[in-house]
Amino acid sequence: MVILLFRKITNKKLSPKCHYIIWLVFIIALICPIPTPSKISVYNYIHVERVKPSAREVSNDILSVESEIDSKLKEQIEANYHKINKNYLEIVFSNIWFAVTMINLSKVIYMQIVLNRKTGNREIKEERIVGILERCKKRLKIKKNIKLIEHHIIKTPSTMGVFRVKIFLPAEILQLDDSSIVAIMMHELSHYKRKDNLLNLFINVVKCMHWYNPILKYPFRCMKKDIELATDEMATKDMEEDEKLEYCKVIATVAQMYSFRNEREVVLGLVTEINVIEDRVDILLMKEVFEKNAKTIMIATISSILLIWLIFYPSCYGIFDVPRLFIKLEDGSVVEATKIQENESDVKTTISVKEKENFKLFTNGGRCENFVVYDKTDLTNGKTYRASVDITSTGICCFQTGEYIYKFTLAYGINRSKEYMIKIVVE
């Protein structure tokens, strides 16, 4: 939503290449959501109470023997019941997601195979068309061998493949004049030059993974439009004014020939929706403005990407990521402290250390302050004292033998904290 709003505000102010770069951040976030620590994340200012599973009724068999078992045993059975039920649902839903994802990926691969088989023997050998291809490749400094395929399956000029690149041309396109074919070739070769074929592969993978989220359909449609605009920008980079006008005419001509959406996701077509044509022509005519302010536009783009990532990226440390506290002993072993839940006072983790042995603290999975406040209770005499420790440099030392309860308080986010407890036996 933030990217779409930013795109709306900066429409015709930033070049298509800049919008294209911002969409790359979107794809990276969907494929590889790596948590990024950020003190300015909007999620640090949002407090959401974590919903605990509601107490469901236990089966009639358990309730019928309620009088025969003590309350502790009943609570344990009920807790195990909820845990098993929750784990079962997680397994079911994850298996459904995985199965549908694999089916969608199989469809994409199958479509690739079918296109390769049905178009394998239709390579264009006509000297005029091949000559235009070679001149356009030279103009864009492309050395790779790219095949031209005549086809009727996909009704628009389009490009497919990452390693074995093919440009598909319908029979109607081959009847156009040389200048029109040059414009089409420049566009399709620019897709390869910009590595849009590889990006299209990632987009298809993301669509297969996020099949359950219909909201993503609109952003993907906008992304495809910006890919076409950025490709137009590259294709017309070294063109004269009359060539740019001819390029615009070709876009409009091809749109009239094929005035429908191209649903083949494995290819990149010259034409998307017909209502996009006007924007594409406007952007091409504004190209000189973008070139004149290229440095300013690029700085604005990079700054925008960083701000969007640090402020709005959902995996920033905030409501989605509660920190965890770990204790590292001198022998290198690591123990996780017990997170204190509501109405819970039992210590679940106990460790043994030697007299005068140091241990250090570190956190994982949440942005915390650099210090930890702790209450140390001596179980032999019941005395408690409070102190704080810098978790980035100093450690905690136990001097006397005995048993101690440490209650740590981690501050994170905005006015938020979490408590942990551990029992330490000093030998």
Residue 110 belongs to domain with CATH number:
3.30.2010.10
Q: Are residues 208 and 267 in the same domain?
A: yes
The pLDDT of residue 198 is above 80: yes
Q: Are residues 30 and 155 in the same domain?
A: yes
The answer to whether 42 and 312 are in contact (CB under 8 A) is yes
Give me the number of domains the chain comprises: 2
The residue from 292, 312, 332 where one domain ends is 312
Q: Which residue has the higher pLDDT, 288 or 116?
A: 116
- Residue 337 and residue 325 in contact, taking contact as beta carbons nearer than 8 Å: yes
Give percent above pLDDT 90 in the chain.
2
268 and 331 housed in the same domain: no
Last residue of a domain, one of 246, 279, 312: 312
The answer to whether 168 and 119 have CB atoms below 8 angstroms apart is yes
- Are 347 and 259 part of one and the same domain? no
pLDDT tens digit sequence for 359-392: 888 887 666 777 888 888 888 888 888 888 888 7
Task: Let me know if residue 343 belongs to a domain.
Answer: yes
User: Most confidently modeled of 82-86, 201-205, 232-236, 252-256?
Assistant: 201-205
Residue 100, pLDDT score: 93
- Range of 15's domain? 2-45+100-312
Looking at 312, 334, 369, which one is the last position of a domain?
312
Q: Does residue 387 share a domain with residue 269?
A: no
Q: Is residue 245 part of a domain?
A: yes
Do 250 and 178 share a structural domain?
A: yes
Average pLDDT over residues 201-211: 88
List the alpha helices (DSSP H) in 58-195. 60-64, 71-119, 127-139, 171-174, 178-193
Tell me the average pLDDT across 261-266.
48
CATH number at residue 345: 2.60.40
First to last CA, the chain: 57
The β-bridge partners of 332 are: none
- Tell me, yes or no, whether 383 and 245 share the same domain: no
pLDDT greater at residue 400 or residue 218: 218
288 and 346 fall within a common domain? no
Helices 178-193 and 196-209 pack at an angle, to 10 degrees, of 60
Q: Rounded to an integer, what distance in angstroms lies between the CA atom of residue 64 and that of residue 157? A: 72
Do 233 and 382 fall within a single domain?
no
Q: Is residue 402 part of a domain?
A: yes
Mean pLDDT of all residues in 327-340: 84
Residue 83 lies in a domain: no
Q: Is residue 286 part of a domain?
A: yes
Identify the helix (H) or strand (E) that includes residue 25.
helix 16-31
Has residue 316 got a pLDDT over 50? no
Q: Is 53 inside a domain boundary?
A: no
Q: What is the pLDDT of residue 319?
A: 47
